[in-house]
Structure 1
Amino acid sequence: KILGKDLEKTLAGLPLLVAHREDEIPVLRDELVKELKQTLSCIKLEEKGVYVQASTLGSLEALLEFLRTSKVPYAGINIGPVHRKDVMKASAMLEHDPQYAVILAFDVKVERESQEMADSLGVRIFSAEIIYHLFDAFTKYREDYKKSKQEEFKHIAVFPAKLRVLPQFIFNSRDPIVMGVSVEAGILKQGTPLCVPSKGFVEIGVVTSIEMNHKAVDTAKKGQEICVKIEPIPGESPKMYGRHFEATDIIVSKITRASIDALKNWFRDEMQKSDWQLIMELKKTFEII
């Protein structure tokens, strides 16, 4: 520790240089600035990630290590109070990935005009003096953000599924189609649009309910035999089992480029490796680039 006047901007973690003559001061100052920039530039940043601000080099490194082990990417770093220029840098994420338009301010002051600027731009600043408090606040924010995005994209995200008709369980052949199917691969969810590639990609409707052992369920997975209700797509004429498709036809969920992107961005946790393999297979079937 050092004691003296005008030490407000002293940075813990940097070397201490002694000037023996007056003219050495600017040279040593430049050397320290260069040393700090070099130290910061050695820290590997991601293209997409949060902006991290800390009071000292040591606390910055501690926070970055904590973020690394928690798999939180960081795209920008700085030391000292949060200034307007830091908010501007963090706001770049609004274009790339808005969930990371965030400043994690660890044990530093947030200037009032910086906070006002962040509020107007839509940048979130989380400030705390304890790493865990900072991380908990950010984790909660990220979970809430993900839930809101899942809600927003749930009608766009179509999970991959491949179904085989169980011909002995055809309960209604048209409007709605009610029949037994076996899930050959993937995940079948309520709201999934279905089509039959072998019959000119005819869209037979949307799954409105799934029953397993006479109980309603939201999801069915590979290997399960279920009863599904398929209602016509609004505005289209109802399709009929026996006319538009047969028991020998494989039924698949109708995926699109937008639905794949929605799965990648917001529903990755619900997908297994085999589900992504089915996505690759269906991409070829639907000729999605």
Structure 2
Amino acid sequence: MRGTSVTKLEPGELTQHIGASFIPKKVIEDLSKDLLQKMKVSIEIPGLLFIDTPGHAAFISMREKGCNVADLAILVVDINEGFQEQTHESLKIIKEYRIPFVVAATKIDRIAGWKDQKTTSFLESISRQSEEVVDELDKKIYTIVSYLAEYNFDSERFDRVTDFTKQIAIVPVSSITKEGIAELLAILSGLSQRFLKEKIKCSGKAKGIILEVKEVKGLGLTLDVILYDGKLSREDYLIIGGKEPVVTKVKALLLPRPMQEIRVEKKFINVNEVVAAIGVKVVAQNLEKAIAGMPIRATKDEKEIPKLIEEVKIEKYVDFEKDPNGVIIKADTVGSLEALVKLLKEAEIPIRKADIGNINREDFIEGELIQDKYRKVILAFNIKVDEQIINEAKNFGLRIFSSNVIYRIIDEYKKWVEEEKRKEIEIKLQALPRPVRLRVIPGAIFRSSKPAIFGVDVLEGTLKSGVILRREGKIVGRVREIQSEGRTIDKAVKGERVAISVDEAVVGKNVFENDILVSELGKVEIEKLMELFEYLRDDEKKLLLELKES
């Protein structure tokens, strides 16, 4: 949209702030002119503010205060690659917070055989594509449809949707050729003015939300804010939400130059006031406790401050059931923390502490109190974790899992738990004799006694050195060593043929060719093996039950 609009607009008509782009009514009408005429639709809304933030930072729902920035969402899916890790993450958040959305199926220009038709209309372009390209596009569209169905969403290509209140519209687009941009803007505008009329009325009260807290050279800490209602002016009292709300004064309001992005802009335009909906950089003092995701309010009347403080005061960042033996989680924003809490709840992973900001000594002290060794971890989402922090955590017996992808943190943690439990099981199994049934191989007697050495077939179970063998209820002796092809080995399993040395055994006296030998297991050993029953092989399970009953 930016690329299409740059050559058509007067400087400044398309404003872009903090990863946010305001597309005014005129631009929408220009880009979707032919389509709007065919649909006999007129644009009534003043425009659309697109908030472009990483992951799910804009989909923040503060339950206690009902603050939700996103009125509509666009789920961007590469039509050729399908759903990715971030797609699932975003979709779960969209579903959880019940945000109306459309799907932008991007990169249609990369479909084999696709030809750029030099139009912003998908419908016009697809009518000129070959039959093979149309078929391939439909296949890819219905792959997306099937993915959405897994989340119980009924979806269809936008021009086949019969009821926009019940079906999710999938709009094929290309950011390179701009095909589909007309339909995407038209559908978003139509959904907005049909279903969000009441929400888009401006109340006059300045309300916003912090997207980012940034250190800017020469300015100190600044806030990148989305103002979604009312008017914000210099010298207004600014009330910043949190557990301990901050009251300060707006010292400056900064907008990037026309057509410049605030994240890379170095020269700003100083303005006296801004009106919703807009993204703006706010300069003020005492911003050390400001947190991305927190609501903000503003007023000129000092008497309103106590009331506004109560509006934005947060008792706790997220609701969760505290478990003394749960994990500790840290995230960069309230939205991130909420998402992490929900995903951990779904994974049935208990939480001891959930907080915003970098990992600190308090977290280490808290983590040291966790009794469950598999929960002595800190799951850190999108925050800085360096070697010093990792090493300090180790001193408290803690492990840190960090990533900028929520699912990756949880997956890595779960894999670690599985691996640690597997190692623990292996250690327990290594310390125990295992059930085994052997057959002495005829003609494979290498030494008759002190110790006796002979070949055996492992019929069932696992043969380990140290196990006591019995024949027909009587003790034969203890296995001193196991060899295979001249090499000493720790164990042999069903189907293997090995040589063993057995103390106390005397060939021809208490052991003979073709004898069946079984392991001698005590009551305590059998009980311990029964505790690990699910980790034994099927042949071991069968033999263990047999030995238990004997």
TM-score when normalising by structure 2: 0.36
1:199 and 1:264, CA in 2 relative to 1: closer, same or farther beyond 3 A? closer
1:242 CA displacement: 4.4
1:172-218 per-residue CA deviation (whole Å, 9 max, x = no partner) reads: 332222223332322234x3523328535x3711252233xx57584
1:115 CA displacement: 6.7
Q: Does 1:196 align with 2:196?
A: no
Counterparts of 1:209 and 1:112, CA distance in 2: 45
- Name the structure 2 match of 1:56: 333
Structure 2 residue identity aligned to 1:229: I
Aligned pair partner of 2:479 in 206, 228, 231: 206
Counterparts of 2:348 and 2:321, CA distance in 1: 19
Q: Percent identity?
A: 23
Residue 438 of structure 2 contacts residue 518 of structure 2 at CA under 8 Å; is this kept in 1?
A: yes
Secondary structure, counterpart of 1:24 in structure 2: helix
- Name the structure 1 match of 2:372: 96
Counterparts of 1:46 and 1:183, CA distance in 2: 48
- Name the structure 1 match of 2:56: none
1:19 CA displacement: 9.3
Structure 2 residue identity aligned to 1:194: I
Counterparts of 1:25 and 1:112, CA distance in 2: 42
1:113 and 1:171, CA in 2 relative to 1: closer, same or farther beyond 3 A? closer
Counterparts of 1:258 and 1:107, CA distance in 2: 48
- Name the structure 2 match of 1:78: 354
Counterparts of 1:209 and 1:113, CA distance in 2: 47
- Structure 1 regions of 5+ residues with no counterpart? 233-237
Structure 1 residue identity aligned to 2:468: L
1:119 and 1:142, CA in 2 relative to 1: closer, same or farther beyond 3 A? same
Counterparts of 1:178 and 1:161, CA distance in 2: 18
Residue 166 of structure 1 contacts residue 180 of structure 1 at CA under 8 Å; is this kept in 2?
A: yes
1:9 and 1:18, CA in 2 relative to 1: closer, same or farther beyond 3 A? closer
1:78 CA displacement: 1.3
Structure 2 residue identity aligned to 1:41: E
Counterparts of 1:68 and 1:177, CA distance in 2: 59
Counterparts of 2:390 and 2:379, CA distance in 1: 13
Aligned pair partner of 2:315 in 27, 30, 33: 33
Counterparts of 2:432 and 2:351, CA distance in 1: 28
Structure 1 residue identity aligned to 2:315: V
1:103 CA displacement: 1.8
1:13-68 per-residue CA deviation (whole Å, 9 max, x = no partner) reads: x7x486994443564456x325x442x239xx796x75432223543466578889
Residue 195 of structure 1 contacts residue 203 of structure 1 at CA under 8 Å; is this kept in 2?
A: yes
Counterparts of 2:387 and 2:457, CA distance in 1: 61
1:74 CA displacement: 5.5
1:121 and 1:225, CA in 2 relative to 1: closer, same or farther beyond 3 A? closer
**247-256 or 138-147: which moved more?**
138-147
Secondary structure, counterpart of 1:96 in structure 2: coil
Residue 434 of structure 2 contacts residue 463 of structure 2 at CA under 8 Å; is this kept in 1?
A: yes
Residue 161 of structure 1 contacts residue 183 of structure 1 at CA under 8 Å; is this kept in 2?
A: yes
- Name the structure 2 match of 1:105: 380
1:226 and 1:105, CA in 2 relative to 1: closer, same or farther beyond 3 A? same
How is 1:147-158 mapped onto 2 (pairs within 5 angstroms)?
A: 156-158=431-433
Residue 367 of structure 2 contacts residue 396 of structure 2 at CA under 8 Å; is this kept in 1?
A: no
Q: Does 1:221 align with 2:504?
A: no
Counterparts of 1:197 and 1:55, CA distance in 2: 66
- Structure 2 regions of 5+ residues with no counterpart? 1-208, 211-224, 226-281
The answer to which structure has the higher strand fraction is 2
How is 1:1-289 mapped onto 2 (pairs within 5 angstroms)?
A: 2=210, 3=225, 4=282, 5=284, 6=287, 8-10=289-291, 12=293, 16=295, 21-25=304-308, 27-28=310-311, 32-33=314-315, 36-38=317-319, 40-41=320-321, 50-60=327-337, 75-80=351-356, 81-93=358-370, 95-97=371-373, 100-109=375-384, 118-129=393-404, 156-166=431-441, 169-189=444-464, 191-196=465-470, 198-199=472-473, 202=475, 204-211=477-484, 214=485, 216=487, 218=489, 219-222=491-494, 224=495, 226-232=497-503, 238-244=504-510, 248=515, 250-252=517-519, 254=521, 257=525, 260=528, 264=532, 268=535, 271-282=536-547
Larger C-alpha radius of gyration, 1 or 2? 2
Secondary structure, counterpart of 1:33 in structure 2: coil
Counterparts of 2:468 and 2:511, CA distance in 1: 12
Let me know the Cα RMSD of the aligned residues. Answer: 5.1
1:121-173 per-residue CA deviation (whole Å, 9 max, x = no partner) reads: 22233444455886798699779968986897685244432223345543333
Structure 2 residue identity aligned to 1:239: A
Counterparts of 2:462 and 2:362, CA distance in 1: 46
1:112 CA displacement: 11
TM-score when normalising by structure 1: 0.60
Structure 2 residue identity aligned to 1:250: L
1:64 and 1:74, CA in 2 relative to 1: closer, same or farther beyond 3 A? same
**179-188 or 167-176: which moved more?**
167-176
Counterparts of 1:53 and 1:277, CA distance in 2: 47
Structure 1 residue identity aligned to 2:437: K
1:197 and 1:178, CA in 2 relative to 1: closer, same or farther beyond 3 A? closer
Counterparts of 1:183 and 1:252, CA distance in 2: 12
Structure 1 residue identity aligned to 2:492: A
1:87 and 1:172, CA in 2 relative to 1: closer, same or farther beyond 3 A? same
1:252 CA displacement: 1.5
- Name the structure 2 match of 1:235: none
Residue 435 of structure 2 contacts residue 518 of structure 2 at CA under 8 Å; is this kept in 1?
A: no
Residue 455 of structure 2 contacts residue 500 of structure 2 at CA under 8 Å; is this kept in 1?
A: no
Structure 2 residue identity aligned to 1:252: S
- Name the structure 1 match of 2:279: none
Structure 2 residue identity aligned to 1:195: L
Structure 2 residue identity aligned to 1:251: V
Secondary structure, counterpart of 2:431 in structure 1: coil
